[in-house]
Structure 1
Amino acid sequence: MTDASLPWSHAPVKVGLVGAGPWARAVHARVLAAGPETQLTAVWARRAEAARETAAPYGADVAARFEDLLDSCEAVAFAVPPSVQAELACRAAEAGKALLLEKPLALDLPSAQRLVDAVDAAGVVSQLVLTSRYNPATRRFLAAAQGVDAVGARACWLHGAFLGGDFATAWRLEHGALLDLGPHVLDLLDAALGPIVRVRGTGDPRRWIGLTCTARSRASGAVTRRLAVQFSPMSSAASPGSSCSARTPSSCTTAPHSTTRRAGPCCAGSSPPPSAPESPASSMSTAGCVCRP
């Protein structure tokens, strides 16, 4: 991530966009075209009309083939289902293109590993879109967490994407909240407490699922930290809210890293995140460290 306080003095990176669905239209195309670090040069999608609608507001070209997109750019951004991304991103890496990848990387471990191997073999730059990392409130939380002597953590994420609308896309409805939202919350727990080395899940990934994760302490290297995570689609009757438990609430810190949140007793006084456009798939999430007495 570049420092927004410094002027951009380089030529923009020419980026081709793969996909023309809701996220591609609402987020990827708009941000890539805004610059000054990037320039949206072309859009390719399975549906040519959708690609034209996505590209037109920004004067970008519409690529007739995926290969034509690769010829028009230096980097490729993906806004497609993970099964499609896993295949096409390998081809983009082999063509020497930098990659901006959506989460999850793929639907299964072998497909994800093939993509990792392709990136390593090509030596190209790649980044996964874990947007919560770049929220100023989240950055403050992660910085504060480094100074907390935590023995574990709890995270809960509620999401409305399964209620319907443009963001209730087919792959999300089929594979559920874990693959859709799990990368965000697990990434933050990993960053706050140490590398996650084991995961055990129970429940139905398409409805409610709970994970128990074990993390390795960065300080001692010991595998001692237990992390509890819950994922659930938000129902129309849900009342989003969560609290984190700590033996000493005043020393416990939480991460307000979404557009909607309700503070629990441990996050009283936390600054709300900066305003962001709401989508039909609005979410509420909390994460907190369980502190030593």
Structure 2
Amino acid sequence: MRIGLLGTGPWAGFVHAPALAAHPGAEFAGVWGRRPEAARELAEAHGVRAYGSVEELLADVDAVSIALPPEVQARYAVQAAEAGRHLLLDKPVAVTVADAAAVAGAVEERGLASVVFFTVRFGGEQAPWLAEQAAREDWFTARCEWIGAVFTTDSPYAASAWRREKGALWDVGPHALSVLLPVLGDVEKLTAAPGPGDTVHLVLRHAGGASSTVTLSLTAPPGAAVDGVAFELRGAGGVSAMPGRGEHPTAAFGRAVDALLAAADGGPAHPCDAAFGLRVVELLAEAERALTA
């Protein structure tokens, strides 16, 4: 499968491009970006072509990997799907329900494969742990914390305009939902309350009967963000905590490429497809409305 990359930002250079270049089952075809100079630089680093337009790239590939801000991603994802290209998307799929629905609809209408890269869902230790927990039905409650210090450290994402505007709810909220939903079931009721900075607290009631709490932040003091990712389940059988993340995200992204290849080769839709991405955006939008109210 020939895969083209849309995007040239830190995440594209840090994860997408090196993972595509190293994947044995895919051919990294080239890069397009809104900044032509950055596209040329990233393409040269991996010995691939820098495309002058999205249309040129789409005409030359089987699939696209998109590393663009979410308010931009949806438009190009729909364009790629309308051209018949499979989609490897980043989270969140979009920042409005309408845009996320347009992506999911375009994929379904054309029978395309799609995968949304929720990092933990493709983690080497986390993915099998999540599958094991999802097979159990005795969960009582869960606690999920995703606490970062993106804007108070030298993080490469500190200059991200969309993260500053949308905050932790839309940046790390998708990760939290991506691990809660497959284990505890869909969300039937959601409430939200703001904390300091962009901190958000969610309380969720799940279809399986369990409840969960979620704490999200990108603006925590650096000391508070140490070991800032935690997911703990409590049930009749005791307590289970998600293993820590110990590998580079390119490894997880490689598994996301594997999932796209399998789905495009006639396999079943992946659980983290565009339809799941839409459901996550629906819940984020609901939480945002609760915060505004």
* Offset, 1:78: 0.4
Structure 2: runs of 5+ lacking an equivalent: 251-293
Which of 102, 124, 142 is the matching residue for 1:136? 124
SS of 1:252 mapped into structure 2:
strand
Which of 215, 224, 235 is the matching residue for 2:221? 235
Change beyond 3 A, Cα 1:91–1:149: same
Q: Percent identity?
A: 35
**TM-score (norm: length of structure 2):** 0.77
Larger gyration radius, structure 1 or structure 2:
1
CA distance in structure 1 between the aligned counterparts of 2:99 and 2:23, rounded to whole angstroms: 32
Provide, for residues 156-187 of structure 1, a one-character-per-residue CA deviation record: whole Å limited to 9, x for no partner.
11123223442121111111011111111111
RMSD: 2.3
CA distance in structure 1 between the aligned counterparts of 2:92 and 2:60, rounded to whole angstroms: 26
1:1-293 counterparts in 2 under 5 A?
13-145=1-133, 146-147=135-136, 149-163=138-152, 164-168=154-158, 169-203=160-194, 207-217=198-208, 224-233=209-218, 234-238=220-224, 240=226, 246=234, 251-258=238-245, 274-276=246-248
Change beyond 3 A, Cα 1:245–1:51: closer
The residue type paired with residue 156 of structure 2 is D
> Is the deviation greater in 231-240 or in 152-161?
231-240
Count how many residue pairs are aligned between Structure 1 and Structure 2: 244
* Offset, 1:142: 1.7
* Offset, 1:196: 2.3
Structure with the bigger percentage of helix: 2
| 4+ residue runs over 4 A deviation | 241-248
Contact 2:203 2:212 in 1 (8 A): yes
CA distance in structure 2 between the aligned counterparts of 1:53 and 1:80, rounded to whole angstroms: 17
Structure 1: runs of 5+ lacking an equivalent: 1-12, 218-223, 259-273, 279-293
Change beyond 3 A, Cα 1:213–1:277: closer
CA distance in structure 1 between the aligned counterparts of 2:16 and 2:224, rounded to whole angstroms: 30
Contact 1:141 1:255 in 2 (8 A): yes
> Is the deviation greater in 59-68 or in 145-154?
145-154
Contact 1:173 1:206 in 2 (8 A): no
**TM-score (norm: length of structure 1):** 0.77
